[in-house]
Amino acid sequence: MDSAALAGPTAVGTDPLPSWRPGAARDAVVAFVDRVRGADGTEPVPVEERVAVFDNDGTLWCEKPMPVQLDFVLRRLVEMVQADPALGDRQPWKAARDRDAGWLASTVAEHYAGDDRKAEVLMAGILAGYAGMTVEDFEQRSRGFLRTAGHPTLGRPYLECTYRPMVELLAHLAASGFTSYIASGGGRDFIRPVSQELYGVPPERVIGSTATLAFAEDGAGGALTHTPVPDLLDDGLQKPIRIWSRVGRRPLLAAGNSDGDGAMLDFAQRPGLPSLRLLLVHDDAEREFSYTTGAEAALARAGRDGWTLVSMRDDWATVF
């Protein structure tokens, strides 16, 4: 249904990628899709092999000044302090209540420097914030937040912080017989309630991080709840593992923007089949943000590994 709806522009022969500027990145995308479809005169790739995977934060939507989900969980921490003010003496609740951007920024900076002590404090608080909550309640909270909250500096709702050129690419792939998955380091169940509407990707095709879940039977549906036990983050070397677990195939296209996407991009290669690995470069301080922190290794290996760099500043006519 979604792919039919999204197929419109291609079906009538108009440009499927109007927000992409002419250039090497756009040429690589068009040539890859044409090659897979056999539009270049070669043998088409079987439809069931046409699998694409996309990181979400910083690849499909804006992740600065903080990931959307961090805004979501900070509000939950504040809510917890309101219910139990004693929590406000401890981190991460204190930082959440005081809107202490410095503590959060140092947590991220220390994480990138290899020191995860504060990150673990933050993660433990987040897990406590949802422990015992059913997956249905979590879904409702996520949906409610995403439908109402806005970006802190861009002056637009979060749901309008997706990158238009990437949404066009997803639609072009769907119209070309691809099945696309979101392989996010962020929360799987956080994104699912809006993935169809934002990206044309249904909830069952969202892969991502999660708390460990627990099921308790009651003969009447049972309760599936979040526990305070962390599961492995869907990042770095875990991404190929989770993609295989979910899909049972290697993808032909992978798109990311950070070091945590490197393994996934590496994984998107099949003997004898075309592949496209896209690394989005955040170099557009005017329209979005300009940063390379957390992407240094990915940028360094892109040329050697045959990845296609996509410059937000140069390759995109429109960002949002």
Told to check if 229 binds a second copy by CB under 8 A, we report no
Q: If binding is defined by CB under 8 A, does position 219 make contact with a second copy?
A: yes
β 51-54/179-187 pair status:
parallel
Judged by CB under 8 A, the residue of 12, 86, 155, 218 near a second copy is: 218
192 binds a second copy (CB under 8 A): yes
Alpha helices in the chain (DSSP H): 2-6, 8-11, 24-37, 68-83, 93-97, 101-112, 117-130, 135-148, 164-175, 188-199, 238-247, 262-267, 296-305, 312-315
Identify which of residues 122 and 201 has a Cβ nearer to a second copy in the complex: 201
202 binds a second copy (CB under 8 A): yes
The residue among 168, 226, 247 whose CA lies nearest residue 200 is 168
CB 201 within 8 A of CB 52: no
Stretch that binds a second copy, among 73-81, 115-123, 149-157, 240-248 (CB under 8 A): 240-248
The answer to whether the beta carbons of residues 244 and 163 sit under 8 Å apart is: no
Q: Does 206 bind a second copy (CB under 8 A)?
A: yes
Q: Does 78 bind a second copy (CB under 8 A)?
A: no
List alpha helices for 58-163, DSSP H: 68-83, 93-97, 101-112, 117-130, 135-148
| 7 touches a second copy by CB under 8 A | no
Taking CB under 8 A as the criterion, the residue among 301, 311, 313, 314 binding a second copy is: 301
- Residue of 42, 148, 153, 245 interacting with a second copy (CB under 8 A): 245
- Say whether 210 sits in a helix, a strand or coil: coil
Binding track, positions 29-68, relative to a second copy; x by CB under 8 A: ------------------xx--------------------
303 binds a second copy (CB under 8 A): no
Site string (106-135) toward a second copy, x via CB under 8 A: -----------------------------x
* 286 lines the binding site for a second copy (CB under 8 A): no
Considering CB under 8 A, how many residues would be counted as binding a second copy?
A: 45
| 292 touches 6 (CB < 8 A) | no
Phi, psi (deg, nearest 5) at residue 100: -85, 85
Map tokens 């997706």 to a residue. 162
Q: Which of 42, 52, 41 is nearest to 275 (CA)?
A: 52
The residues of the shown chain that bind a second copy, judged by CB under 8 A, are 1, 47-48, 135, 179, 188-189, 192, 202-204, 206, 210, 213-222, 224, 237-238, 240-241, 244-250, 262-263, 266-267, 269-271, 301, 304-305
